[in-house]
Structure 1
Amino acid sequence: MTPIRFEADYGGMWDALAEQLKVAEAGKPVDGALLASRYRRVCEHLALAQSRAYPIHLMARLESLAQDAHRILYRRQDYGLAALGHLLRVKLPQTVRDQRRYVLLAFLLFTVPLVISFLMAWLTPDFALRVMDAQQLRRMSSMYADGSSAVGRLREASTDWQMFGYYIFNNIGIGLRCFGAGILAGVGSAFVLLFNGLQIGTVAGYLQRDGLGHNFWPFVATHSAFELTGIVLSGAAGLRIGLSWLSPGRRSRLEALKVAARESIPIIYAAFFLLLVAAGFEAFWSSAAWVEPWVKFLVAGLCWLLVVLWLGLMGRGMHRAG
């Protein structure tokens, strides 16, 4: 085969690879399997060109393509800032929207008992005592009492950093229970969502009835955007796991669980990210008694807007990798 015929037969593929490499260099997603296949073909063509002593310009072109493709394919693949940014901006919100049926189910399982228990605890004198014991309620009252230098802080915690550690442990613990309990055919996740909704609503209603709502609502307003959303997403991931086992469709139960686990991982990432952010706000911002309530409510509105825009709009129209 002459060099001219060789280049005419395969030049189109070389051009396609060069274009694909430009896209990859720009940080945009490409078809990795296709890129690897073209890279192997170019290596084969380079070996042929060298063995047949084709012109220097032809071998230089193939060498350049092979080197560029090798650099793209074998460069260090880690979760650097760019990859983390893509995960947060594209992959996580896309997956949450894809699993919106489970998110909606988790939302209802969590918010319905929350609203009902809040109204019952607010309007009924003894309802809170049916859900929580007197010691727990007294502890809540002391945490949100007037005159406290840090609202919502445990008496045994003397610094915001101690509370930050406590909130991380507490928030992530709730998320893990919501998710992990899903393996029990989804019933476990449903129970954890119902239970947490019932407790949160009861505390809110009790403190409102006890005349401490003016301290409680500014405290919870900001971090609730992240914490409550994180709890719902954790529950949604658990329900996805459990219901796939309960109703595997045409797959075997084991295969259905594998697919569900793969699809649930980004939701758990999103949930834990939100719960971690919530812990930071809760420890260093929500508890600050020196911040005026109207400022906290304003920031809370912005936080809720950011969460809704992130999960509702980010990543729309972008390539779905993997």
Structure 2
Amino acid sequence: MDLDAYVAEHDGEWRRLEQLSRGRRLTAAEVDELVALYQRAATHLSVVRSRSPDPALVARLSRLVLAARSTITGGSRISWREVGRFFTEGFPLAAYRAWPWWCGVAVAFTLLTGFLMWWVAGHPESASAFIGEDAAEALVASEFAGYYTEFLPQTFAFHLWTHNAWLAAQCLASGVLIVPVLWLLWHNALNIGVVGGVMISYGRGDLFFSLITPHGLLELTGIYVAAGVGLRIGWSWIAPGPHRTRGRAVVEAARDGMLVAVGLVGLFAVSALVEAFVTPSSLPAVFRIGIGVAVWLAFLGYVLILGSAAAAKARLRASQPA
């Protein structure tokens, strides 16, 4: 194959295709021309690759074909309208649909955490069994409060954000198996219950609640939402409901799970900022707790108000004739 002759023969077509692929508005005739030249350039690329794979020419034709394909298909551009719709409808609707699940998880594991805390506080010897007497004394003396000031706030916030997002992702991904989610929730309840019980048994319950409440309300709610949505995915396989196959039920629940997963990234970013900057601050406890409660109530209101509105809109669309 004479490569120079091949380039000379088709160079005009390639230049014309390059002109049409520059993103300007095309007429109907130009669109037809673009599609035809794109198909021919794709064939030329295949010929060059198979017969005379010159790297420079292959790179040029590859860029040209990709640019033309992007022009034809419209490319993948961020639509701010879709981003806004995700935050005003997509995420709150997905979380709202699963509210019985995550509210049930929140109530059950809050009660379990409270029971563990009460038991450890009322039986001081149990603290030694869980973490050891020396570790319990160190926890009360400095380690619990020191945890929030050990690192720079921005570093601490990033660590908390990624850790909690990863924990939520585990709850969502393993939800179809159910048991792993329950295990993660039990482990979380045990940690909080034991630490809280130890602090209370040593007379430092005020310190414990003043430090954990500002961020804990929102952070734990995010974990419970992820766990509830994950369990909903698992239950959709066990009991898909009438007029739905198991596969369809799981797909629909998993689609909501994906929306929740993305939305919770933002929630955990907020809770991480609160934990890194508000929790260890010198503000009086009542102000720090007030900030935490305000952020928590704002999230609940956001999900319940916008989620219920989006659900009503979805029902209205479904009731209209096709």
Q: Which of the five TM-score ranges fits, normalised by the shorter chain?
A: 0.5 to 0.7
- Deviation for aligned residue 1:128: 3.2
- Post-superposition CA distance 1:23-73 (Å, at most 9, x none): xxxxxxxxxxxxxxxxxxxx9xxxxxxxxxxxxxxxxxxxxxxxxxxxxx9
Q: Report the counterpart of residue 207 of structure 1 in structure 2.
A: 199
Once the two structures are superposed, the pairs formed by residues 160-179 of structure 1 within 5 Å of their partners are 160-179=153-172
The residue matched to 2:216 in structure 1 has which SS?
Answer: helix
Residue type of the alignment partner of 2:143: M
Q: Any conservation in 2 of the 1:171–1:276 contact (CA below 8 Å)? A: no
- Deviation for aligned residue 1:235: 0.2
The residue matched to 1:317 in structure 2 has which SS?
Answer: helix
The residue matched to 1:211 in structure 2 has which SS?
Answer: coil
In structure 2, what is the Cα distance between the partners aligned to 1:271 and 1:317? Answer: 20
Alpha-carbon spacing, 1:199–1:253, altered in 2? closer, same or farther (3 Å)? same
- Using the size of structure 1 for normalisation, the TM-score is 0.65
In structure 1, what is the Cα distance between the partners aligned to 2:290 and 2:205? Answer: 17
Q: Any conservation in 2 of the 1:230–1:270 contact (CA below 8 Å)? A: no
Q: Report the counterpart of residue 293 of structure 1 in structure 2.
A: 285
Alignment partner of 1:259 out of 232, 241, 252: 252
Q: Report the counterpart of residue 282 of structure 1 in structure 2.
A: 275
Once the two structures are superposed, the pairs formed by residues 210-249 of structure 1 within 5 Å of their partners are 210-249=202-241
Q: Report the counterpart of residue 103 of structure 1 in structure 2.
A: 102
| 1:94 is the counterpart of 2:93 | yes
What RMSD, in angstroms, separates the aligned Cα atoms of the two structures? 2.9
Q: Report the counterpart of residue 119 of structure 1 in structure 2.
A: 118
Q: Any conservation in 2 of the 1:117–1:205 contact (CA below 8 Å)? A: yes
- Post-superposition CA distance 1:146-204 (Å, at most 9, x none): xxxxx5336xx4422221232123212321232223131x1221221122122212212
Q: Any conservation in 2 of the 1:153–1:287 contact (CA below 8 Å)? A: yes
Alpha-carbon spacing, 1:135–1:233, altered in 2? closer, same or farther (3 Å)? farther
In structure 2, what is the Cα distance between the partners aligned to 1:254 and 1:133? Answer: 48
The residue matched to 1:144 in structure 2 has which SS?
Answer: helix
The residue matched to 1:104 in structure 2 has which SS?
Answer: helix
Residue type of the alignment partner of 1:265: M
Greater shift, 309-318 or 221-230, is seen at 309-318
Q: Any conservation in 2 of the 1:179–1:235 contact (CA below 8 Å)? A: yes
Q: Report the counterpart of residue 195 of structure 1 in structure 2.
A: 187
Q: Report the counterpart of residue 262 of structure 2 in structure 1.
A: 269
Give the unaligned 5+ runs of structure 1.
1-42, 44-72, 146-150
Q: Report the counterpart of residue 38 of structure 1 in structure 2.
A: none
Alpha-carbon spacing, 1:252–1:196, altered in 2? closer, same or farther (3 Å)? same
In structure 2, what is the Cα distance between the partners aligned to 1:135 and 1:234? Answer: 35
In structure 1, what is the Cα distance between the partners aligned to 2:248 and 2:225? Answer: 23
Once the two structures are superposed, the pairs formed by residues 46-125 of structure 1 within 5 Å of their partners are 78=78, 80=80, 82-125=81-124
- Deviation for aligned residue 1:138: 5.2
Q: Report the counterpart of residue 148 of structure 2 in structure 1.
A: 153
Q: Any conservation in 1 of the 2:161–2:272 contact (CA below 8 Å)? A: yes
| 1:180 is the counterpart of 2:170 | no
- Using the size of structure 2 for normalisation, the TM-score is 0.65
Alpha-carbon spacing, 1:144–1:195, altered in 2? closer, same or farther (3 Å)? closer
Q: Any conservation in 2 of the 1:233–1:270 contact (CA below 8 Å)? A: no
Alpha-carbon spacing, 1:128–1:270, altered in 2? closer, same or farther (3 Å)? farther
Residue type of the alignment partner of 1:241: I
- Post-superposition CA distance 1:285-315 (Å, at most 9, x none): 2122x22212112212322321221122124
In structure 2, what is the Cα distance between the partners aligned to 1:315 and 1:100? Answer: 10
- Deviation for aligned residue 1:283: 1.0
Residue type of the alignment partner of 1:117: L
- Deviation for aligned residue 1:98: 1.5
Greater shift, 312-321 or 206-215, is seen at 312-321
Q: Any conservation in 2 of the 1:225–1:307 contact (CA below 8 Å)? A: no
Alpha-carbon spacing, 1:260–1:79, altered in 2? closer, same or farther (3 Å)? same
Q: Any conservation in 2 of the 1:175–1:272 contact (CA below 8 Å)? A: no
- Deviation for aligned residue 1:96: 1.8
Identity, % of aligned positions:
22
